[in-house]
Amino acid sequence: MTHFTAKRLPKQPGPAGWNCLLPAPPPTRVLGEDITADIAIIGAGFAGLSAARRLVQIDPNSKVVVLEAGRVAEGPAGRNSGFMIDLPHDLSSDTYAGNAEENDRVQTSLNRAAIAFGADAASEYEIPKDAFDPCGKINASATPMGDQHNRDYGAHLKKLGESYRLLDSTEMAELTGTDYYTSGLFTPGTVMLQPAAYIRGLAAGLSDTVNLFENSPVTEISSEGPAWKLQSPKGSVSAGKVILANNGHAESFGFFSRRLMHIFTYASMTEQLPEGVLGGALKWGVTPADPMGTTVRRINGIGGNRIVVRTRFTYNPSMTVSNSAVARAGRLHDQKFAERFPILKDVPMAYRWAGHLCVSWNGVPAHGELENGIYAAVCQNGLGTAKGTLAGMSAAEMASDVQSELTQAMSAMDAPRRLPPEPIAWIGANATLRWKEIRSGRE
Ligand SMILES: Cc1cc2nc3c(=O)[nH]c(=O)nc-3n(C[C@H](O)[C@H](O)[C@H](O)COP(=O)(O)OP(=O)(O)OC[C@H]3O[C@@H](n4cnc5c(N)ncnc54)[C@H](O)[C@@H]3O)c2cc1C
């Protein structure tokens, strides 16, 4: 008999600000008995819910169960910055040569397949436009180096035949209401999510066809004849197939041991902005020209008129961070906010939080069939909203024996590379992250 026991369960540091803006969720359904299913999915984030949707698309009669450790949209899927991006982050990297251009095309087309899948779901489940808004995004710069990065990025986009528009400092000020930014690069393919509303919308849309249980962590996976039994504190699911859609927590069961890097990033969201003080457009989102810089959004819709700031990354193999780490990042957010919006100096932050993401050293997902009937859809690296969606779609297809361009592309990727031992990895990763944060400066 094969057993995998969860050494850790997820802990979410701070409130999921986006979820706090929504009405109270429907009552929790906790798994309270022993049930059976064709396929059981662990985790109700982008990967888990996308896998569930793809499974019932492939076979509407399939009995699909999703077990989520916490509440839907309280995990990373509901606590990110909501940029569902089509283009790879690193188009203008120094390694841009040889087949890198072809690789960028493949990555972009895969990300767009995820976005199209999300768009179909948003339309079918009547998810509001404010939660899934295909309005594009801007890569904003605040330094000459960032301006150069935007021009280089634009030149690479041109080579790829992608559309974009460069904005000067005046246009950036007109958009953002601050003269902080010196240039911008608009690309039209990003969808801006209200992540908690999108994730809740997916869960609600699936509720007729998929059996979803919240506050029902899987604590053990064990073989039971040809099936797998997922044990939760108050019940169990026996299923022929299992999809691991619990991102970095796949390692909590012993899968991909020492191959997943557990990274936390941090965000703060303001109280409602006073009316008429900040000029510019009422809604926008900017990613930083330096990927280690600060992401800023102005939202105006579900939950009102607010600014959301995200910056700082830390490597935490313990898969959790302390309240004081959230508070320290919060002080940095306050500084970034004050530098950009001196006119809003009296506006306090309403919510501060951190969230767990998972990357591999060589930037590849952790994917494929791990044991007979156990499939992984984890380790989304950057762009996790799009990559998580893709991973879920692909694992569902593999578990259903469907071959597609997506499953071929995912199967062709390398496996995650092994990390150095601790504390070398901890020291090296955190020193590198801190140095890169300092180097990103005003970005
Ligand atoms: C502050 C912040 C900003 C970010 N901004 C962006 C952004 O703008 N764009 C972008 O693309 N990405 C962004 N990300 C990353 C993105 O949120 C993640 O990559 C994405 O959520 C991964 O999706 P997932 O479904 O694979 O995993 P998750 O969203 O982490 O979902 C996994 C789920 O599994 C559950 N789980 C874990 N263990 C168990 C268990 N034993 N039993 C049952 N359930 C379990 C967890 O509770 C969780 O809900 C950001 C992340 C953070 C924290």
At residue 370, the 3 state secondary structure works out as strand
User: Looking at the DSSP assignment, which residues form a beta bridge with residue 139?
Assistant: 185, 287
* SS3 letters across 287-334: EECCCCCCEEEEEEECCEEEEEEEEEEEECCCCCCCHHHHHHHHHHHH
**Cα 356 to ligand 1 centre (Å):** 7
Pocket, ligand 1, Cβ cutoff 6 A: 6, 9-10, 42-48, 67-70, 75-77, 79-84, 217-218, 245-247, 249, 265, 267, 310, 355, 357, 380, 383-386, 388
Distance between Cα 27 and ligand 1 center (Å): 22
**Paired strand residues for 242:** 40, 374
* Residue 154 exposure: Cα atoms within 13 Å on the Cβ side: 17
Q: What is the pLDDT of residue 95?
A: 46
pLDDT of residue 99: 67
The CA-atom distances, in angstroms, between 83 and each of 51, 138, 264, 284 are 20, 10, 17, 11
CATH class of segment(s) 3-79+196-257+363-420: alpha beta
Cα of 287 from ligand 1 centre, angstroms: 19
Please tell me the residue having the least CA distance from ligand 1 atom 13.
Answer: 80
How far is residue 287's CA from residue 41's CA, in Å, rounded to a whole number? 32
Tell me which of 19, 30, 46, 115 to substitute to probe ligand 1's pocket, judged by most ligand atoms within 8 Å of the beta carbon.
46
Q: Where are the alpha helices (DSSP H) in 95-182?
A: 100-124, 144-160, 169-176
Nearest CA among 353, 342, 416 for reference residue 381: 416
Q: Which of 191, 231, 249, 321 to mutate to test the pocket of ligand 1 (most atoms within 8 A of CB)?
A: 249
Query: Tokens standing for 374?
Result: 């156990």
Q: What is the pLDDT of residue 291?
A: 84
pLDDT at 284 (0 to 100): 97
User: Does domain 114-193+262-360+427-440 match CATH 3.30.9.10?
Assistant: yes
| DSSP class per residue in 170-223 | HHHHHHHSSS--SEEEEETTPEEE-HHHHHHHHHHHHTTTEEEESS----EEEE
Contact 359, 263 (CB under 8 A): yes
Residues counted in the chain:
443
Q: What's the confidence (pLDDT) of residue 129?
A: 95
Q: What local confidence, expressed as pLDDT, does residue 438 receive?
A: 87
Q: For position 418, what pLDDT does the model report?
A: 96
CA 353 to ligand 1 center in whole angstroms? 13
Residues forming CATH 3.30.9.10 domain(s) in the chain: 114-193+262-360+427-440
In angstroms, the first-to-last Cα distance of the chain is: 53
The whole-number pLDDT of residue 96 equals 41
pLDDT for 97:
45
Pocket test for ligand 1, best of 11, 79, 246, 390 (most atoms within 8 A of CB): 246
CATH code 3.50.50.60 region(s) in the chain: 3-79+196-257+363-420
Mean pLDDT per block of 10 residues along the chain (443 residues) reads: 96 97 96 98 98 98 98 98 90 53 90 98 97 97 95 93 97 97 97 98 98 98 96 98 98 98 97 96 95 94 94 96 97 97 96 97 95 97 95 98 96 94 90 89 89
Angstrom distances, CA of residue 150 to CA of 298, 307, 415 = 21, 23, 32
